[in-house]
Amino acid sequence: MKPPRGKVPLPIIITTICVLFFIAVLYAERLSFLPSSSIFKFKTCPRKLNKPKSNDRKIEDVLANASWIDDRFDFDPEECNVANGKWVFNHSIKPLYSDTSCPYIDRQYSCVKNGRNDSDYLHWEWQPEDCTLPPFNPELALNKLQGKRLLFVGDSLQRNQWESFVCLVQGIIPEKKKSMKRGRVHSVFKAKEYNATIEFYWAPFLVESNTDIRIIGDPKKRIIKVDEISERAKNWTGVDILVFNTYVWWMSGLRVKALWGSFSNGQEGYEELDTPVAYNLGLRTWANWVDSTIDPNKTRVFFTTMSPAHTKSADWGHKDGVKCFNETKPVRKKNHWGSGSNKGMMSVVAKVIKKMKVPVDVINITQISEYRIDAHSSVYTETGGKMLTKEERANPLNADCIHWCLPGLPDTWNQIFLAML
């Protein structure tokens, strides 16, 4: 008997359903082999638009020029390479403070107060390629620091970052509810309402040296005690968040004088080592102290990578220039890397941190700072405790191309730091 016309036989329906079910199971099984981590390794949300099927040229033109679409994902320190990006000029962004509204800035970094008239360097915004970097939120920062101690440890560039952080948050704290106590070695800013402190400890090598307290101007007379840190580090315990750096003081020559044991013999007993070798020994001493002393359940540890110097204008193609003098715009060349950042020294940091037991979060500021030849203190600074005269400011050789204006680039360092917190 023939089945009625228009009706599909039951065996065919059952077979079709089975085939579709098998395809669905197979597809789901293939997806299960893709771990979530492998998805995030790819560049999320690629900026590529499917070509419209419609022949409407107006719609096609709009989509083709839709550069305003921001498909970057929210900042995640484990997934976003913050060093991969670009500086974008944005005149609408304003610093959260000035060197007149924040009373805690060293004159060394107070560029506007010291006579700098151009202001474009204050309006560059760092945009990572793959993610959005949230703006610095002072209230959020202070809430995260509620009942905590934050301590920056390192050299004058770390003091640059510390002063930036203090200035970024202090504006929302009433005058009577904040205080600053300056010391030659240890300085403390208190946010009383939050029971929080933001501190700085001077330790340019992290390990001890004969130039820690009384600075020796001649690098050839400096001796670094590469195996000793305890005398300084005893002041770093009981802290909730530690941020370390050390680089520029090591770069005074191709070799440094290193000492094991006591300073009691003065100049006797030291050994001259290649700078990367001595740096490695010093960082390993620091790493051993962190691993043996810090409880990662109570204290978070960060390390700020090297801040580049811009002392050779030929590095960015200005062969007739002198250092960073009169530079007013960032370098635009992608992945620019000058002679002021030593990749060998940076790899030492990476290798030492990789072997540590206590987790250390790296605040990678080097590449983003390499572009900013315009953001240094330059001639708008002081030297030897005295302001540069008008005649001295006219001399490019007097430009400080190591430290940075405040407000300025270190605010972006702290923007990244807060996002990582």
Structure tokens at 208: 């001890």
Q: What sections of 42-98 are H helices per DSSP?
A: 57-64
What distance in Å separates the CA atoms of residue 20 and residue 9, rounded to the nearest whole number?
Answer: 17
Q: Single out the residue of 410, 416, 419, 364 nearest to residue 121, CA to CA.
A: 410
Indicate if 156 belongs to the active site: yes
HEC readout, 164-219 = HHHHHHHCCCCHHHEEEECCCCEEEEEEHHHCEEEEEEECCCCCEECCCCCCCCCH
Rama region for 194: left / alpha / beta (φ>0; ψ in -120 to 50; rest): alpha
Q: Give the β-pairing of 131-132 and 186-191.
A: unpaired
| Residue 33 CB partners (closer than 8 Å, separation 6+) | none
Q: Select which of 187, 369, 403, 411 is catalytic.
A: 403
| Residue 11 CB partners (closer than 8 Å, separation 6+) | none
Q: Do 62 and 89 contact (CB within 8 A), yes or no? A: no
Grouping H, G, I as helix, E, B as strand and the rest as coil, residue 154 is: strand
Q: Select which of 155, 212, 400, 411 is catalytic.
A: 400
Q: Single out the residue of 237, 177, 251, 226 nearest to residue 201, CA to CA.
A: 237
| Residue 253 CB partners (closer than 8 Å, separation 6+) | 219, 220, 275
Q: Which residues pair with 209 in a beta bridge?
A: 224
Q: Single out the residue of 104, 213, 196 nearest to residue 159, CA to CA.
A: 104
Q: Select which of 156, 227, 291, 336 is catalytic.
A: 156
Q: Single out the residue of 345, 158, 156, 161 nearest to residue 250, CA to CA.
A: 345
Name the amino acid, one letter, at 391.
Answer: E
Q: Do 145 and 178 contact (CB within 8 A), yes or no? A: no
Q: Single out the residue of 113, 109, 120 nearest to residue 327, CA to CA.
A: 120
Instruction: List the catalytic residues.
Output: 156, 400, 403
